[in-house]
């Protein structure tokens, strides 16, 4: 069974940093590209970042470019999102999701999400 479990969310002050983790199991993690998707309270979905199976190719939404860094450790079956210079607009539930296939940018399995709150 595919499982994705996010951790690392919490409250942070504006301008602060946070690192999210996503632990994967139930599939060959090193064979799949992975995504981070966020959802602000009461709002829709936004692809934040993505990383190819081997870490060689990245995607960032314009809203986070230069502030967020995605990475992975295939030996630990873990995906990361390093977030810095956080602002109130980054407050959201952050979901880790698996890309269906390398060529098709949509997500077939999702974690339950971790809440990031940016507030003074």
Residue 16 vs 109, nearer CB to other proteins: 109
Output the smallest distance, CB 120 to other proteins, in A.
Answer: 27
| 58 close to 67: Cβ distance less than 8 angstroms | no
* β partners of residue 101: 104
- Residue 54 contacts by C-beta under 8 Å, 6 or more apart in sequence? 30, 74
Output the smallest distance, CB 15 to other proteins, in A.
Answer: 26
Residue 74 vs 91, nearer CB to other proteins: 91
Per CB under 8 A, residues contacting other proteins are: 37, 44-47, 59, 61-62, 95, 97, 100, 104-113
End-to-end CA distance of the chain: 40
Output the smallest distance, CB 44 to other proteins, in A.
Answer: 5
Residue 65 vs 76, nearer CB to other proteins: 65
Phi, psi (deg, nearest 5) at residue 83:
-115, 130
């Amino acid at each position: 069974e595919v499982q994705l479990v996010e951790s690392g969310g919490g409250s942070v002050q504006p301008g602060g940093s946070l690192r999210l983790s996503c632990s994967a199991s139930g599939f060959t993690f090193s064979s799949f590209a992975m995504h981070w998707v966020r959802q602000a309270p009461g709002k829709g979905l936004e692809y934040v970042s993505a990383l190819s199976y081997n870490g060689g190719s990245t995607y960032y939404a314009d809203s986070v470019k230069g502030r967020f860094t995605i990475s992975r450790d295939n030996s630990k079956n873990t995906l990361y999102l390093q977030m810095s210079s956080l602002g109130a607009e980054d407050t959201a539930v952050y979901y880790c999701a698996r890309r269906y296939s390398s060529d098709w940018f949509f997500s077939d399995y999702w974690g339950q999400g971790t809440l990031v709150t940016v507030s003074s």
